[in-house]
Amino acid sequence: MTNFKAVGSRLLQLALVLWAVVTILFLMFRLMPGNPMAAYIDPTFTLEQQQQLMAQFGLDKPLWQQYLIYLGNLLQGELGQSFRYREPVGERIWTLLPNTLVLTFSSLIIAYAFGILAGAYLAWRRGSFIEQAAIPAVLTTRAMPEFWLGMVLLAIFSFSLGWFPAGGTRAPGAEYSGFLDLYTSRDFLSHLILPAATLAIYSQGLPLLLMRSNMLDVMKEDFVTMARIKGLSNWTVVVRHAARNALLPVMTSFAIAVGYQLQGNVVVESVFSWPGLGRELVNAVAASDYPLAQGAFLMIALVVILMNLLADLLYAVLDPRVSHA
Amino acid sequence: MTEPLLSVRDLRVSYQVGRSFVHAVDGASFDIPKGSITGLVGESGCGKTTVARALTRVIADNAAITGGEILFEGRDLAKLPEREMNALRWRDIAFVPQSAMNSLDPVYTVEYQLGEVLRRRGGMDRRQARKRSEELFEMVGIDANRLNDYPHQFSGGMRQRVAIALALALNPKLIIADEPVTALDVIVQRQILDQLKELQVRLGLSVILVTHDISVVAYICDRTVVMYAGKVAESGTMQAALTAPSHPYTMGLRNAFPDLQGAASGVLTPIEGAPPNLANPPAGCRFKPRCPFALDVCGSEPPVVDVAPDHPVLCHRARESAALRIEAAKTETWMARA
Q: Mark yes or no for CB contact B153/A324 under 8 Å.
A: yes
- Dump pLDDT digits (tens) for A214-231: 999 999 899 999 999 999
When CB atoms are compared, the residue of A229, A236, A319 closest to B89 is A229
Chain B residues with CB under 8 Å of A318 CB are: 107
What are the two backbone dihedrals, phi and then psi, of residue A195, each rounded to the nearest 5 degrees? Answer: -65, -40
A102 CB-near residues (< 8 Å, 6+ apart): A183, A192
Contact residues on chain A for B105, CB-CB shorter than 8 A: 223, 227, 241, 244-245
Residue from B61, B107, B168 to probe the interface with A (highest A Cβ count within 10 Å): B107
Chain A interface with B: residues with Cβ < 8 Å: 221-223, 225-233, 236, 240-241, 244-245, 248, 318-321, 324
Q: What is the CA radius of gyration of chain A?
A: 24
Q: Mean pLDDT over all residues of chain A? A: 83
B 57-96 → A contacts, CB under 8 A: 58, 86-91, 95
**Residue B17 near residue B73 (C-beta atoms within 8 A):** no
Residue numbers in B near A233 (CB within 8 A): 120
Tell me which of A208-212, A243-247, A307-311 is least confident.
A307-311
pLDDT range class, residue A142, cuts 50, 70, 90: confident
Instruction: Look at residue A1 in the predicted model and tell me its pLDDT.
Output: 43
CA distance B234 to B250: 8
Q: From chain B, pick out residues whose CB is under 8 angstroms from the CB of A320.
A: 106-107, 109, 150, 152
Superfamily (CATH) of domain B6-92+172-243: P-loop containing nucleotide triphosphate hydrolases (3.40.50.300)
CA distance B112 to chain A (A): 12
Mutation for B interface: A214, A216, A229, most B CBs within 10 A: A229
Buried-exposed string A85-112: b where 16+ CB fall within 10 A, e elsewhere: beebbbebbeebbebbbbbbebbbebbb
The answer to whether the Cβ–Cβ distance between B150 and A232 falls below 8 Å is no
3-state DSSP call for residue A89?
helix
Closest C-alpha among B35, B39, B99, B14 to residue B280: B14
- Would the CB atoms of A244 and B88 count as touching at under 8 Å? no
- Which of B89, B97, B105 shows the shortest C-beta gap to A231? B89
Query: What is the C-alpha separation between B265 and B284, in angstroms, rounded?
Result: 32
A242 pLDDT more than 50: yes
The band of B116, judged by pLDDT with boundaries at 50, 70 and 90, is very high
Give tens-digit pLDDT for A152-186.
888 888 787 878 777 777 766 667 677 677 777 77
Nearest-5° angle of CA B327, CA B330, CA B331?
A: 135
List, as ranges, residues 125-184 from B with C-beta within 8 Å of A: 150, 152-153
Whether residues B102 and A221 touch (CB distance < 8 A) is answered with: yes
Distance from CA of A248 to the nearest CA of B (A): 10
Domain A95-323 CATH superfamily: MetI-like (1.10.3720.10)
Residues of A in contact with B95 (CB under 8 A): 226, 229
pLDDT band at B265 (very low <50, low <70, confident <90, very high): low
Q: What number is the average pLDDT over the span B7-28? A: 92
At B263, the amino acid letter reads A
Q: Taking all residues of chain B, what is their mean pLDDT, rounded to a whole number?
A: 89
Per-residue pLDDT band for B176 (boundaries 50, 70, 90) equals very high
Give the residue ranges of DSSP H helices in chain A: 2-31, 47-56, 63-75, 89-124, 129-143, 146-153, 179-183, 186-203, 205-219, 222-229, 234-235, 244-271, 277-286, 290-318, 320-323
DSSP A149-215: HHHHHIIIIIIIS--S-SSSSS-TT---SSHHHHHTSHHHHHHHHHHHHHHHHHHTHHHHHHHHHHH
> Which is nearest to A216 in space by CA: A234, A237, A243?
A243
Q: According to the model, what pLDDT value does residue B16 have?
A: 92
Residues in chain A: 325
Task: State whether B103 and A226 contact (CB < 8 Å).
Answer: yes
Distance from C-alpha of B284 to C-alpha of B299, rounded to nearest angstrom: 4
Residues from chain A that touch B87, judged by Cβ atoms under 8 A, are 231
- Structure confidence at residue B24 (pLDDT): 92
pTM for this entry: 0.81
- A40 or B209, which is more confident: B209
Q: What is the pLDDT of residues B268-305, one digit of tens each?
A: 788 888 888 888 888 899 999 999 999 999 999 999 99
Better pLDDT: A34 or A75: A75
> What's the complex ipTM?
0.89
More confident residue, A56 or B192: B192
The 10s digit of each residue's pLDDT in B124-147 is: 999 999 999 999 999 899 999 999
Angstrom distance (rounded) from CA B224 to CA B239:
9
Q: Sorting pLDDT into bands at 50, 70 and 90, what band is A303?
A: confident
Q: Compute and round to an integer the Cα radius of gyration of chain B.
A: 21
Residue A223: closest CA among chain B residues belongs to which residue? Answer: B103
Distance CA(B166)–CA(B160), nearest Å, equals: 10
Query: In chain A, what are the domain boundaries?
Result: 2-75, 95-323
Q: Which residues pair with B25 in a beta bridge?
A: B13
Q: Which of A201-215, A218-232, B178-192, B252-266 has the lowest mean pLDDT?
A: B252-266
Q: Contact B129/B118 with Cβ under 8 angstroms?
A: yes
Amino acid (one-letter) located at A157: F
Report the residue of chain A nearest B87, measured CA to CA.
A231
CA–CA distance from A46 to each of A37, A51, B233, B297 (Å)?
Answer: 14, 9, 107, 117
Looking at chain A, the whole-number percentage of residues with pLDDT higher than 70 is 92
> Quick check: B106 and A244 CB within 8 A?
no
